[in-house]
Structure 1
Amino acid sequence: MKFRRLISLLIIAVILIAFFTNPKEADFHQFVKPDMGKVQSAPLIEYESRLIYSNATVTYFNPASVEGKIIAAANKEKYIGVFGVFGVSIINAG
């Protein structure tokens, strides 16, 4: 019985720590700021804050002109933020 109580308390503690250290949108902008200077046009950032973690999708555009028409190739990167830090998710959108 003590083992279950200990595990339950540890799980609750981890969830509370994740809740209070959930990164904000300003933290994400500081995280991707060095990458933004390397592209020609400003990327599109979609940020979503959940209860204990955050999701962000950054779409980078590379404009080009082909036969007088302007086209843009896009690359998406997905990030997840938990415990106050961001990291690239395992599955990139591509």
Structure 2
Amino acid sequence: MFIVDLGGAEGFGDFVFAFNQGFCELVGGHWKGNSWDAFHDYLSWPKEEKFVLVFRQWRSGRALAASQKAMVEQILKANPHVQVAYE
């Protein structure tokens, strides 16, 4: 299980930081936030065939604009090996 804590995140840069801290760095990478394709690619990095990715403060957080949230959700739906929980 990987936990991306968005508590206190105020913008896209904070989202990128939280995603790196809670996921990318744990699987041996670092997302620069420049490409949604790279975000998608990182979801294939864990050794586990299937895994859980938890986004804390997703609903109440202000890290992403509505269009960015929609993009993240679309990418996650395209990765059925990722079980996602939005808190």
Fold similarity call, TM over 0.5: no
TM-score normalised by structure 2 residue count: 0.29
Which one has a bigger Cα radius of gyration? Answer: 1
Q: Higher helix fraction: Structure 1 or Structure 2?
A: 2
**Which structure is higher in RCO with an 8 Å CA cutoff and minimum separation 6?**
2
Q: Which has the higher strand share?
A: 1
Name the TM-score, length of structure 1 as normaliser. 0.28
